[in-house]
């Protein structure tokens, strides 16, 4: 019976063999046979990610996925590649461009262990989160102030803890149903 090998250990071994210059075609066949024999075929995508991570950690090769709303110009792609080489201290950067209109604009750069999201979609999401949280904070402060007024008038802190039905209606807004 063969010994169980972790996916991470397998990834380190594959990366080391690739760096040593082993034939990629031969190595691919051997890895495929290993995965089938050890019933690990469902882990192929994760294994490829692990191999990409190991290659980047060894300073040899970086796989980058660039999502954008349109194809990047050759100049921009070259500048990005140069920046990544310097930042990660890597000798080779391999890019995979993906066109994603849902980003609205900007780019998302994904490496095996990091992602940089400079898309308009992400900025709009942050704005929406900020707007929603500040709206809720304002309404909460208003309700809290009303609760203090109700407590001072009634003197009963138990009943003043929750807003009244009319206060909930004010908080919900004109078009929202209050139950």
For residue 10, pLDDT beyond 80: yes
Using the structure block, give the residue that is written with the tokens 């942050």.
Answer: 126
| Contact present, 172 and 166 (Cβ < 8 Å) | no
User: What's the pLDDT at 146?
Assistant: 64
User: What is the mean predicted confidence (pLDDT) over 17-41?
Assistant: 91
- Binned at pLDDT 50, 70 and 90, residue 131 comes out as confident
User: What's the pLDDT at 157?
Assistant: 43
User: What's the pLDDT at 148?
Assistant: 54
Hey, which residues does 107 pair with through a beta bridge? Answer: 68
Q: Which residues of 128-160 are buried (b: 16+ CB within 10 A; e: fewer)?
A: eeeeeeeeeeeeeeebeebbeebeeeeeeeeeb
User: What's the pLDDT at 140?
Assistant: 74
pLDDT in tens, 87-125: 888 888 999 999 998 888 989 999 988 898 989 898 888
- Which two tokens mark 121? 């979609």
Q: Which residue has the higher pLDDT, 165 or 19?
A: 19
Q: State the distance between the two ends of the chain, measured CA to CA, in whole angstroms.
A: 64
- DSSP structural state of residue 3: P
How far does Cα 166 stand from its chain's mean position? 42
| Contact present, 146 and 167 (Cβ < 8 Å) | yes
The pLDDT > 70 percentage for the chain reads 77
For residue 71, pLDDT beyond 60: yes
Ordered alpha helix ranges (H), 20-97 = 24-37, 44-57, 74-88
Q: Which residue has the higher pLDDT, 65 or 144?
A: 65
Identify the CA nearest to 103 among candidates 128, 69, 137, 136. 69
């Amino acid at each position: 019976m063969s010994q169980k090998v972790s996916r991470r250990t397998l990834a380190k071994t594959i990366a080391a063999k690739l760096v040593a210059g082993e034939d990629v075609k031969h190595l691919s066949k051997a890895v495929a046979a290993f995965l089938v024999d050890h019933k690990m075929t469902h882990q192929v995508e994760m294994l490829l990610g692990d191999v990409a991570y190991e290659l980047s950690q060894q300073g040899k090769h970086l796989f980058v996925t660039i999502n954008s709303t349109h194809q990047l110009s050759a100049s921009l792609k070259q500048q990005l590649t140069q920046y990544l080489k310097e930042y990660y201290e890597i000798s080779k950067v391999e890019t995979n461009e993906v066109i994603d209109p849902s980003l609205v604009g900007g780019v998302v750069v994904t490496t095996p262990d990091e992602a940089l999201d400079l898309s308009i979609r992400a900025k709009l999401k942050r704005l929406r989160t900020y707007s929603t949280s500040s709206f809720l904070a304002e309404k909460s402060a208003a309700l809290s102030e009303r609760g203090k007024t109700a407590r001072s008038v009634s003197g009963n802190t138990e009943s003043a803890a929750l807003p009244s039905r009319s206060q909930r209606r004010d908080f919900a807004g004109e078009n929202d149903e209050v139950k």
